[in-house]
A and B are shown apart, each in its own frame.
Chain A
Amino acid sequence: MIEVSGLSKSFNHQPVLSDLNLIVQDGEMVLIMGESGCGKTVLLKTINGLLKPDKGSVLIDGVEINKLPESELLKIRIKIGFVFQSDALFDSLNVYENLALFLRMQRRPNITEQVKEALSFVGLLGKERFLPSELSGGMKKRVAIAREIIRKPKYLLLDEPTANLDGENTGVIVELIKKMQMMGMTTIIVTHDPRIRDNIEARVLFLRGGKLWEGR
């Protein structure tokens, strides 16, 4: 379970999140909507400890992560997948290496099979040797999702998964999200794209004025 309570975060004395509360139960899918710049990315990055809150706490399975040193946070993050808005694929590694990296660092067996399985899941089997610069925007997003899926994380955080994608690619990503939902992954998606809200069964929250509000 993810528990966020009293979370506040400011940049240059401008409050972005203020006294924000959120509980995400295991297996739940939460969709957080809001306009660009309202703090959606900041919220996700604070939940997995990439940003430290000014106030408040984030508990992952009962562990308060914002008080942990980076070395301990790295261990917690192993169970939290994070798909960046910019994809953040490692541009000097090909698709295979991008997906295999986590498995290699965790010394997991059967890496090649798992990479093929993940690429098959996102419909990119056969693109193993491509560099990120050789992929389209939609393909990059699918590789970014595959890089997280392959880890089999307990939690998955998706930051604007359809940003800069056309209608067709958005449809592909929406279908992937539905498949992930069927896998029972606890997921938080932040987006300003109504096409995701309209096509996915999830608890919908709105981020406004640094706080979350229920709605659909």
Chain B
Amino acid sequence: MKGTLTSLGELLSFFGEIILALKNIWLYFREIRDSFYEFSLGSLPLILIVSIFVGFSTAASGLYIALPGTPSYLIGSGIFKGIILEIEPVLLGLLLVGRIGAGVSAELGSMKVSEQIEALRALGIPPSGFLVLPRVIAGLITSPLLLIIGYWFAILSAYLLASARISAFDFLKGIRLFFEMREILVGIIKASTFGFIAAFFGSFFGLSPKEGARGVGYWTMVTVVTASLFILFANYLLNILIL
């Protein structure tokens, strides 16, 4: 119990440092830009491939689940909502944990081991501002952009697979009839939250005390496990709160 409270305190303190670093955000513009490019362009090919398969598998499941006689446009609508509300945001979040969270954790961890973090502090530069803030901001901003691009690829691939049984007219009619802008916004809020979680935990565990390469590997694994669980929990929480 005491250990849990201590960890919670450290997490809150780390979050507080990031908030405090915001007052000098203009100093870290270059680092934010670099992280933005790394997270967005670096993750894009993976997101596109995964989105195509999200579309295929959601469409295949939708066609399988639909009872005989179900109007085609309802199947189209079901596939669309499944993609935008759940499957694409959650899978994107879990991918970001692997791509961004693990990457940040390993990068900062190896910097810690090679005394580069101490060197930053010795230069009077706060790691929370120079290293963490840019990554957290980039995580917050890039994930919704990746999600929107992923949406298009997932929906297009879902349509391609479903077109064997549903006409384009019915597929689009289903989307239009039950379309709610709020649901897209929910997906965007989810993606942003998941991007934050990936970058935040990657940074937190990356900067935690460690010894050698084994420590870097261990804390990278902890990052992936913890951030994945937090993403699934946050997804559930957001579904309850804003859907």
Interface residues of A (CB under 8 A from B): 45, 48, 50, 70-71, 73-75, 77-78, 80, 82, 84, 86, 88-91, 101-102, 104-105, 107, 147, 151
Contact = CB atoms under 8 A, between A and B. Distances in A.
B114 A77 contact: no
Interface string B116-158: 1011111111100010000000000000000000000000000
Contacts of A77: 121-124
Interface bin, chain B: 10 to 19
Contacts of A84: 115, 118-119, 122
A4 to B, nearest CB: 17
Nearest to A93: B116
A82 B130 contact: no
B27 interface: yes
Given A105-B27, A105-B130, A86 B115 contact: yes
Contacts of B124: 74-75, 77-78, 102, 105
A126 to B, nearest CB: 24
Interface of B: 20, 27, 30, 111, 114-116, 118-126, 130
Nearest to B129: A105
Nearest to A81: B122
Contacts of A102: 123-125
Contacts of B121: 50, 70, 73-74, 77
A89 B116 CA distance: 7
Contacts of A151: 123
Nearest to A78: B124
Nearest to A74: B124
A91 B114 contact: yes
Contact of A80 (B30, B118, B122, B130): B122
Contacts of A71: 20, 126
B123 A101 contact: yes
B110 to A, nearest CB: 8
Contact of B116 (A70, A73, A88, A105): A88
B207 to A, nearest CB: 13
Nearest to B126: A74
A107 B111 CA distance: 24
Contacts of A105: 27, 123-125, 130
16 contacts: A45-B118, A48-B122, A77-B123, A78-B123, A78-B124, A86-B114, A88-B116, A89-B116, A89-B119, A90-B111, A91-B111, A102-B125, A104-B27, A105-B123, A105-B130, A147-B123
B125 A101 contact: yes
Nearest to B125: A105
A91 B114 CA distance: 10
B130 A91 contact: no
A34 B127 CA distance: 32
A121 B154 CA distance: 58
Given A90-B119, A105-B130, A74 B114 contact: no
A71 B17 CA distance: 10
B27 A82 contact: no
Given A105-B27, A105-B130, A90 B125 contact: no
Contacts of A70: 121, 126
A36 B52 CA distance: 58
Contacts of B125: 74, 101-102, 105
Nearest to B118: A50
